[in-house]
Structure 1
Amino acid sequence: MSKNLILAYDYPLMGAFWTMLWIFMWVLWLFLLFRVIGDIFRDDSMGGWGKTGWLFFVILLPFLGIFVYLIARGRDMGKREQEHAMAQRASFDTYIRETAGGTGHADELAKLADLKNKGAITEAEFQQAKQKVLAA
């Protein structure tokens, strides 16, 4: 090599830039790898042998495996992610409804009082409905 050859790493700032770039690319690669592995396990339409094959391919030849997976099945990754998020949301909403016990007695009594104040029900009907709510 020539003595006058100047490499980018000869400049400390450029060295720091290249180091940060490689670290960013490495983190990005790990994120993509775990995203694909998560998608393989999340996919309910794929059988056990299919999941095993894809996982073996992704682990044995990671770069080729990831790129082939993204080409072959990447289009539906977003749909599967969205379905998973909606299923989690529905499960969380069901849990909250069951834990909260549906509509409480206070809400039902407030509705009855509102109906009585508007004149939709009489005082006797209000008392009767109130007794049913409190007995339940």
Structure 2
Amino acid sequence: MTLAQSNYPFLDLIWTMLVFFGWVTWFWLLVVIFADVFRRADITGWAKAGWTVALLVLPFLGVLIYLIAEGKHMGERRRAEATAAQTQFNDYVRSVAHNGGGTGATSQIAEAKRLLDNGAISDQEFQDLKAKALAR
């Protein structure tokens, strides 16, 4: 059988791929919208239930209505969540890293290593100081 005699023409294949990716995109939008609805603190439980029913009963229309009504706010909420997560991460990193004050675990271990290299403390004392610094 040659390519020209195929029972499934090339344009049908392209159409099938477009439909498949359209469904994948729609399901992705549905998941994103459900996540946005249930993360929102500015609406009541009844409003969340209403959006859930709308998205389940009229799936395509419900998605379109939600995107039109809340699309801009969805982006703002996601941006605020990302900013909060980045701020929290930065604060955590600053709290565990050496920040010039000489009180972090890194500076304590470095000082203990310096004392070990100078012969002021034994290897066991170094291990004890290191364990205490890491336990904080």
Q: Which of the five TM-score ranges fits, normalised by the shorter chain? A: 0.5 to 0.7
State how far apart, in whole Å, the 2-side matches of 1:91 and 1:41 are. Answer: 22
Match of 2:88 in 1: 91
Report Cα offsets for 1:59-82 as digits up to 9, x if no partner. 222112111112222221111111
Alignment counterpart, residue 18 of structure 1, candidates 6, 10, 15: 15
Runs of 4+ in 1 over 6 A off after TM superposition: none
Q: Which has the higher contact order (CA 8 A, sep 6+)?
A: 1
- What code does the residue aligned with 1:79 have? E
RMSD of aligned Cα (Å)? 2.3
- Sequence identity (%): 40
How do 1:66-77 residues align onto structure 2 when only pairs under 5 Å count? 66-77=63-74
Structure 1: which 5+ runs fail to align?
Answer: 1-8, 108-136
State how far apart, in whole Å, the 2-side matches of 1:90 and 1:15 are. Answer: 50
Match of 1:123 in 2: none
TM-score for both structures, normalised by structure 1: 0.62
DSSP-derived class of the 1:45 partner: coil
Query: How many pairs does the alignment contain?
Result: 99
Structure 2: which 5+ runs fail to align?
Answer: 1-5, 108-136
State how far apart, in whole Å, the 1-side matches of 2:62 and 2:35 are. Answer: 14
How do 1:18-97 residues align onto structure 2 when only pairs under 5 Å count? 18-97=15-94
Give the 3 Å change call, closer, same or farther, for CA 43–22 of structure 1 in structure 2. same
Match of 2:122 in 1: none
Which one has a bigger Cα radius of gyration?
Answer: 1
Give the 3 Å change call, closer, same or farther, for CA 100–15 of structure 1 in structure 2. same
